[in-house]
Amino acid sequence: MNFLIINGPNLNLLGTREKSIYGEVSFETYFQQLKEKYDKVNLEYYQSNIEGELINEIHRVGFSYDGIIINAGAYTHTSLALADAIAAVNMPVIEVHISNVHKREELRHKTMIGKCCLGTISGFGLDSYRLGLEGLLNHCDKR
């Protein structure tokens, strides 16, 4: 099974950026641990700070892989184009957030992409990605 984790803007700075919110671990370190834990599936990772590149990546895998886990960063709250890209592909997409966006500023409570996703996981630190993967695996089992 092929799954892709997509990280949006500023998430390349995990481990460095606002550590009190996002923690001290880089995504590369976390991703290696996740890959070791789920060594029976093919798990890939893509990050970009550029909206159009995120859309291109959704299009690239969206008709052939088994699922996408996306943390769209701040584009979550603003991007109709990303929402349209997710709606356009025929695969389950899970929205994840490291922080609990509902506990933060009001403008972070709104998600443009949520309505196009299978589900949303928010507030479990980096473990949100693992929970997203578990959600995808359960979903795939049921199909």
* Numbered residues of the known binding site: 71, 77, 84, 98-99, 108
- Tokens representing 34 are 């996740």
Distance CA 116, CA 124 (A): 21
- Closest approach, Cβ 20 to ligand DQA, in A, equals 12
Alpha-carbon distance of 43 to 45, in angstroms, equals 7
Q: How many residues bind ligand DQA (CB under 6 A)?
A: 10
Q: Does 132 bind ligand DQA (CB under 6 A)?
A: no
Residue 22 is a catalytic residue? yes
In whole angstroms, what is the distance from residue 135 CA to residue 120 CA? Answer: 10
| Selected catalytic residue, list 46, 75, 97, 129 | 97
Binding to ligand DQA (CB under 6 A): which residues in 98-127?
98-99, 101, 108
CB of 37 to ligand DQA, least distance (A): 20
Structural tokens at position 6: 């997509």
* H or E segment to which residue 101 belongs: none
d(CA 131, CA 128) in angstroms, rounded, equals: 5
- Shortest gap between Cβ of 100 and ligand DQA (angstroms)? 8
Q: Is 109 a catalytic residue?
A: no
- Residues 48 and 72: their CA atoms lie apart, in Å, by 10
Interface residue list for ligand DQA (CB under 6 A): 10, 71, 73-74, 76, 97-99, 101, 108
Which residues are annotated as catalytic? Answer: 22, 97
